[in-house]
Each structure stands twice: as C-alpha cells, then as structure tokens.
Structure 1
Amino acid sequence: MTAPAVAPVLRTRITDLFGVRHPIVQTGMGYVSDATLTAATARAGGLGIIAGGMLSLEELARAIDQVQAQTPEPFGVNIRANQEDVDKRVDLLIRSGVKVASFALAPKRALIDRLKDAGLVVVPSIGARRHAEKVAEWGVDAVVVQGGEGGGHTGSVPTSLLLPQVVDAVDIPVIAAGGYFDGRGLVSALAYGADGIAMGTRFMMTSDSPVAQAVKDVYLSKSVTDTVVTVEIDGVPQRVLRAGTIDKLESTRGPQRMLRAARNAFAFQRLSGTPWPHMIREGFAMHRDEGLKWRQVIMAANAPMLYRSALLEGNADIGVMATGQVVGLIDDVPSVAELIDRIIAEAGTVLARLGAGQTHAADPNDIAAPATQISMRRDA
C-alpha cells in the first residue's frame, strides 16, 4: 500500500521535536499500549508510547527491548512520577536511548531537568490551562492537552474550549487529545493552533492492540452517549464505558466500597510484587503531592485490577473499560498503519477543500472581500 502524500502543513513542531513523520501520538494506555502497539505506531510514522505505569521495572525493560527490536523509529515511555522506583525507571529510559518521557501527572522540576539533561523530550499531559503554564515554566518540551471528551482520568472542559486556552497561554508545542479519530479532527486541531493530536480509544480499536476482540466488539456497539464519568473507580473522575461492572460500582456505597478497594489492593500487590512499604509510601505521596483524600488513596488500587480484568484478560462483563466519547464514532478495527495512512489522506483532502475556493487574491481595497487565508499552524 502506497503511503499518502503529506501536505507541508502536516510537518509541525512535534514532528521535528520527536523525529516522526506524522503529527499523531498514540497515548500510553495501561494494559493496552504494549510493545506491539507502540512499535506499530512508530513504524507507521506516529509517536508510539509504552504504558509503563502498570509494568514492573523488569517488564518495562523487556518492553523497551521489544520495541527496539521491531523498529529503529523513535518512541516514548509513559511513567508515573510518584512511583517508588521512578529514579530507576528514568535511568532505564536514559540508558536505553528512549526518545520521549511521557507523564500523566506532571513530574517534579528536578526530574524534568534530569531527563532533559540526558537528551530526552519531556511531555506531560494536562487538563487545565494553569497546569500547562506551570509545566511550561518548568521547562517541559511539549504538553498533551486532554479535554473532557477524553477517556480515563478527565476534566469537565471540552477540548474545543481548553485547547485554544492553552495554545494562547504557552509557547511550547501543544498536542490536542480528547475526541480525535480522523483527518478532519487533525486539521481542526491544527486550526486551533495545536501541533498535532493524541489518540487513545482510536488506537486501542486497531488490530495491533492487545485487547481481546470480544471487548473490542463491546466498544463497537456503543454510541457517544454510552459513557459515564465516575469517581467510583479510584475516587478521581474517569470516563468509562457504560458496560461491565460500572453500574454495580456506581451503586456501591460506604463500607462496601472500602472493602472492595482493600481486596483489590491485596490482589494488585500479589500480581505486581510491589512490596507493601513501597505501596504505602506511594499512597502518602499521592496524598501529599496530588492532594488526594485518604478515601481516594485507598480506592486507587481499584483501577489497575478492574482495567486488567477487561482490557488484559478479556472479561468485559466484570471489568471496567476506559473510553473517550469518540467511541460512538468508531466502526472498524484497522491496523495502525491503515489508520494513520487514512488520517493523513483525510487531512490532505480537507486541506485541499479549504483551499479550493481561493482562485485569486482578495482585493485589499474591497472591504467586503472574504478572508480566505486560513493559517493551519502556529508560528514556531
């Protein structure tokens, strides 16, 4: 299959920053963004990101080796800044020559400096303008801006409002997330001033994703209104499918909720092998650094176990499935290469259509002449 021609406007600050062909990022989704999906994205010209938060240090090292064995293209790794062994993980990324360090929550300034001094590109995800301003001041290289339509942990401000806020507030490259799945969305993000898009649900719904087909079929059956934002998973708002065990979780209260969280904490400790002192220290760090209430800290073990049940083990009826509202616009499961080629081709078609009406320069003396010059990217 011949790759589509790429319009010059689709070379942006992030394609240069990451060293990739297309301004498209595959987000680091726990239990989904494995070595296979990440390598497939990198080969197709996007930035793939390994989800390292749920992997042990040894598992993360193997995943990095697997990606590098499959492609020489750059890729990223998402890590949790509050993990007990975060310094060892940073050492691993530096030693392995990983291009991008991605964070769901902003790391401390000292960690940013250390990564940048080693030559890595640092890209945290944010959900508010003030957070973007803070991390930009700390020296990060770019930010992923997720609007309320996005899956997993999310805020309430839609992408169409949050994105221009952030673009106007910072000078670093901005990557738009929340509601993107095709070339039209890519062009719209560029029109707002972003330098590219990041997608989670759309990449999960590819043949290169490790999620079981039975679970993908559940996603394919849903509409844009079949999601819910709930705090009953880990105490922090998350957008998930209205499916599986979510109705039961939503109806659970008080002691039952805490008992379930305790059981999941024990199960997660057994599976991950994380020593209890490490887990306890991480809990104190979440309370201190992220401002979580103790109830939320106790519930935090729910998320990995509930997601693992559905996304890794294929139990759609008893697990929890994070998703963006864009799930209702997805109706197929292409390969990653087919998806990215399609998005780039669609973006080229949209750009050509937008420019097709301009057959001659507008007369500057004609005050009624329409403004047809539309800039599709910000000045660097």
Structure 2
Amino acid sequence: MRRLASGPDILLLAAVWIVDVAVFSTLLNRSDSPSGLLRAPVVVGYAAVGAAALLLRRSHPVWVFAAVWLHSCAANLLPLGVHPTAGVLVALYTVTASRGEAVGALAMVAGFVPLGLTVAAEVRAAAADERITILTANAIFFTVVGLLVWGLGRWVRANREHARELERRRLAEADAAVAVERRRIARELHDIVAHAVTVMVLQAGGAQQILGTDAARALRTLRQIEDLGREAMGELRRLLLVLRPSAGDEAQQPVDGHQPGLDDVDRLVGTFREASLPVRLGVCGAARRMDRSTDLTAYRVVQEALTNVMKHAGPGTRTRVELNWADALSIRVTDDGGSPPRRASAPSAGHGLLGLQERVDVVGGTLTAGPTRDGGFEVNAALPVPTTEPDRARSGG
C-alpha cells in the first residue's frame, strides 16, 4: 500500500498547522479571556483538519486545493477566530507544480479569494485609524506571496517537464543507436551467410565432379559442406534476432568486403599506435576457431574500446588489450585515464557501447564497461568459444 506521506510531508503539515494557529488566528492575543480559552480547542482542531487534508495533496492536488479553499473560506465567514491561510498557499503550489498552466492560473485566481477574506478579517479587527495601513500592507503582502508561490510552482513544473524531455531524447537517441548497430550487424551476418552458401555451392559442384574418381576426397568435401551448412544455420538464427524493424542512419561497413576478425587485431592495434595511442596487446592461452560472427564481434569489442579511449582520454593514454583463451574468450581493454586522469563520469554510456552491447548479446556473450578506481576506464567482454581443440595461435605485442 502506498504511503500517504513521508517524513518531510509530516513536518510540512505540522508547520502549516502551527502557522495557522500562531499567526492567522486570534488565539494567542485573546487567550486571556474566558471566550478565548473556550475557543482554543476550536481553533486548534479546525486548523488541524485543514493541515491534515494536505496529506493527499500529491495524489489528488486539485481536490485537496478545493477542500482547503472551502475550509479557509468557511473559517473566514464563521466566527471561529482562525483564518487558515498557509494550507491554501501549499495547495496552490502543489496544483501549479503538478497540473497544466490553465489549471494553475485558475487556482491562483481562486486562491486570492480566501487570502482576500483573511485580509478583510485583519482589517475588521484593526483600529479605525489603522485600517487603511493594515489593508494596504496586507494586500501587498498576500499578493506578493501568492504570486511567488504560483511562480515557484510553475518553475518546478517547467524543470520537471524539461527533465522528462531530456530523458525522452536520451532514450530515443539510445534506441536509434541500437537500431543502427542492428542494421550493421544484419548486413555483416548477411555477408557471412552469403559467403558460406557460395562456398557450399562451389564445393558441392567439385564433389560431384570427383565423386566417381576420388571418393575419399569427395567425402571430405561433403563433410566441409556439412560444417559450413551448420555454421550458416547458426548465423541465420542470429540474423533473425537482429532483423527487427528499426530506423537510423547508415552505419559504416567494410569497403572491400573483408570482414575483420581476431587475426586483424594486431593490425588494428598498430593503427592506434600510429595515432599516438600507446597500446600493449597481451594474449594468454591457445586460440580456437570461432564462428565468423563471434570472431567479428571480438574484433569490434577491441575496436570500439580503443576508439572509446581515443575519444574520451586522448592520445598518449596508456592502454592495454588482453585476450584470454579459456572456456570462453575473455577480452579486457583498460586505460589509465590519461594525464591528468579523466573524471570517472566522462565516458558515459555512449552510442558505440550501446551498439556493442547489442552485438555481444546476439552471439551469446556478456559485456561490462565502467570507470576504474585510478581514474581510467575498462571494457570487459566474454564470448563463447567452441569446445574443440585449439587450431591456431596468436602472438601478443
């Protein structure tokens, strides 16, 4: 069950009650008379009822404003000795901050009715020679206070709407970035599948030609076709995962048709070194053969992580790329944050990392990224590898 009020709300209600009793009532300055003493429970109780109504001001601001408005007007028209005003101002602020401009403006105009009745009560209670001064001073005071409360409510509402608009834009930009990356992944998977099918067709034709003269060789070719077919089916399943309706700009793609992989990491690291980014590459364990899409994803992880370093930390930042072959391929890219170290909040969840997360999810891997204690940044990815014997080795630089 939702709580009616928090600690600060209770304190606000208590403050409203105290102000209405101490300032906007005749209790304190007339309590020495018998009628004043008898009126005390009425004043205290009536002010408490108005303050208690504010408990629901967040969930039902308009209704609460109407109730507090009626409560104040009735007190000013009846000889109760109390003129609840603080609650009206609080309710006016809540309505203005939570509802549209039209409702807020209407509440402001309506709010001046009980405020005006309070001024009238103060004038009636004053001496005849002081009434003009009391009227002028109270009219100016309550007009200024009412307008300030209304303006504060409008300011808070505008800030809330601005924050919501910024959040909507952030989410829209993130969705667009993910959509662009999905299209890019789909194109790359399409190229991989198309290449595999082309090879299968060529190998099938070759096997048909040598089937009568070299059955063993034809059998090996058929087994290769079977392996390629299984791999192509896996890539097609991944392709279906990312082929969802999306919109976005065209993403960059290889101009020569070559899909990079871990074999190209050395060259990739070299390009960043040439751009004055000191990168150390370390490899632990024996490399295994991976699906082409997973191999491409591993390359993209390293590429995006290094790009992130160059973008946020700049040239000269000491960076290390670690590839650890075990039950899964672990990729870790860390940097020292540059000199001076960058703030931990600098590399926010950019579009590149969002797209990278989508890419890693497609191949069944995991990705984490965040600041380090020494002011740098790190990207960690774990990608699945086949449980087969190692068939290739890599060297670190």
**Which has the larger Rg?**
2
Same fold (TM over 0.5): no
- TM-score of the superposition, structure 1-length normalised? 0.18
- TM-score of the superposition, structure 2-length normalised? 0.18
The structure with more helix, counted as a fraction of residues: 2
